[in-house]
Structure 1
Amino acid sequence: MNISLYDLSVWVLPLIIAITFHEAAHGFVAHALGDNTAFDRGRVSFNPLVHIDPFGTLILPAMLLLAHSPFLFGYAKPVPVNFRALRNPRIDMVWVALAGPATNIALALAAALAFHILGFLPANAAQWVADNLKNTLLINVVLAVFNMLPIPPLDGGRVAVGLLPRALGASLARLEPFGMLILIGILILLPLAGSQFGLNLDIISTILQTMTGYVIQLLLVVTGNA
């Protein structure tokens, strides 16, 4: 299974930009709201080198490309945030969490708008730009939708912790150390178990695909592409 430089340029480049801007947005908003942890560690930056996780940002996406996976996924080093240092920890945590997905939606919107410039480009350049823009739209919407699942430590989980009544929020927050295990369970293990009994238990992936489709269609309509 060969992978070309063209494949890398139209998939990995949009992925690195999406992840970098997502993490940087968390850092910028946290810094603006009183927490200097990320700033002091040099993470309030759009320099991808400070956010790249060697496995999550480079090796994992490359492996998925080599395997001709139907989806591309990756992650960066999480931006450190000391929520107690925020001026209003409970509500500011919500703004910090929302910053990442909101930035991804903004990037997706910009990509959708940029489709209108393709007609002004030379034919040989237009295809490469078009593929980058399509993947930028897809990757950013997938990251935004996935991260808004209400499971800590995903952004949606932290939003839920901040907005729920304190007792419920505290109970949800206690799941954070087990959040990735829960995600692996519902996204991978549960569907595998269901397939052994002829059951489709891949409910979360179906919901994510449906929501991603709706958001992409909305962005295309808003930007005059549909």
Structure 2
Amino acid sequence: MDWLERLTWFPLNEFPFVVISLVLAFTIHEFAHAYSAYKFGDNTAYDAGRVTLNPAAHLDVIGTILIFLVGFGWAKPVPVNRGRFKHPRLMGIVVSAVGPLSNLFLAAVGILLAVLVFQTGWMINASIGVQSAVETFLEYLIVLNIGLFLFNLIPLPPLDGYRIIQDLVPLRVRLRMDENVQWGMFLFLLIVFIPPLRAVTLTPLFNLTEGIIAGIAGFYGLFY
């Protein structure tokens, strides 16, 4: 199994914790997009069966596999018809932003649980194995969700950061962005599949994520 270990981003013995964390992260993220669009008057995602907490409706096979291979990926994009919103630009920003914010919320929940579990003595009578499993799961829940929050704010299509920028800029700029969206997609794919480009562009993101986690862990005395 050494060859498989070398191919993957995460240790094989920690895969169950990674899978659970990612399923939660992707499902809540896409549900947040779909539900907010539905509440703002767009039934597109609802009719497509995306206003649900069923992970099967949201997970993308390739995007999920890439998480394990290169450390990041994606779920199925939620279809949104901004023309059905009462205030398309404002509501478009909200619908785009709630996805990353949902990941930030999950990270905050993970931090709260870690503090409650490890700073209040709840696990004092648990075995070392159980304590280690809970700690590993909460660490992945926090790390992956903070990473996804930051990653999704990158202003490249098809990420949420790009959609937020589209709704913030003047209409003429948005039209130019729409005309050149294929180049942004091409650049995104290059970053995904070419290791040197991935290292140059995403290393700062990984470093920022690690710095945030280290700061949180140091402040609360968690994990380290």
Instruction: State whether structure 2 residue 54 is matched by structure 1 residue 47.
Output: yes
Deviation at 1:52, TM superposition (A): 1.9
Judge conservation of contact 1:83–1:93 (CA < 8 Å) in 2.
Answer: yes
Q: 2:44 aligns with which of 6, 27, 37?
A: 37
The 3 A distance-change label for structure 1 pair 7 and 218 is: closer
Deviation at 1:26, TM superposition (A): 0.4
- Residue 72 of structure 1: aligned partner: 71
Question: In terms of mean alpha carbon deviation, does 113-122 or 131-140 score higher?
Answer: 113-122
Instruction: State whether structure 2 residue 154 is matched by structure 1 residue 149.
Output: yes
Question: In terms of mean alpha carbon deviation, does 210-219 or 103-112 score higher?
Answer: 210-219
Aligned-partner residue type, residue 38 of structure 1:
A
Partner Cα distance (1:32, 1:220) in 2: 37
Gap regions ≥5 residues in structure 2: 6-10
- Residue 14 of structure 2: aligned partner: 7
Question: In terms of mean alpha carbon deviation, does 141-150 or 5-14 score higher?
Answer: 5-14
The 3 A distance-change label for structure 1 pair 203 and 5 is: closer
Q: 1:169 aligns with which of 159, 169, 174?
A: 174
Q: TM-score, normalised by structure 2?
A: 0.81
- Residue 8 of structure 2: aligned partner: none
- Residue 86 of structure 2: aligned partner: 87
Deviation at 1:187, TM superposition (A): 5.5
Question: In terms of mean alpha carbon deviation, does 20-29 or 73-82 score higher?
Answer: 73-82
Partner Cα distance (1:221, 1:45) in 2: 36
1:9-29 deviation line (CA, Å, top 9, x unaligned) = 111110111111111110011
Percent of residue pairs identical: 34
Deviation at 1:210, TM superposition (A): 3.4
RMSD value, Cα:
2.6
Judge conservation of contact 1:107–1:140 (CA < 8 Å) in 2.
Answer: yes
- Residue 139 of structure 1: aligned partner: 144
Q: 2:209 aligns with which of 209, 212, 216?
A: 212
Aligned-partner residue type, residue 143 of structure 2:
L
- Residue 114 of structure 1: aligned partner: 113
Deviation at 1:5, TM superposition (A): 7.5
The 3 A distance-change label for structure 1 pair 107 and 219 is: farther
- Residue 26 of structure 2: aligned partner: 19
- Residue 103 of structure 1: aligned partner: 102
Structure 1 SS opposite 2:100: helix
Partner Cα distance (1:144, 1:22) in 2: 9
- Residue 197 of structure 1: aligned partner: none
The 3 A distance-change label for structure 1 pair 120 and 18 is: same
Judge conservation of contact 2:152–2:160 (CA < 8 Å) in 1.
Answer: yes
Deviation at 1:188, TM superposition (A): 5.1
Partner Cα distance (2:216, 2:85) in 1: 33
Deviation at 1:186, TM superposition (A): 4.3
The 3 A distance-change label for structure 1 pair 103 and 18 is: same
Q: How many residues align?
A: 209
Judge conservation of contact 2:157–2:188 (CA < 8 Å) in 1.
Answer: no
1:115-143 deviation line (CA, Å, top 9, x unaligned) = 12134121322111110111111111111
1:67-120 deviation line (CA, Å, top 9, x unaligned) = xxxx53232211111111122111211111101100000001111111121341
Partner Cα distance (2:98, 2:143) in 1: 18
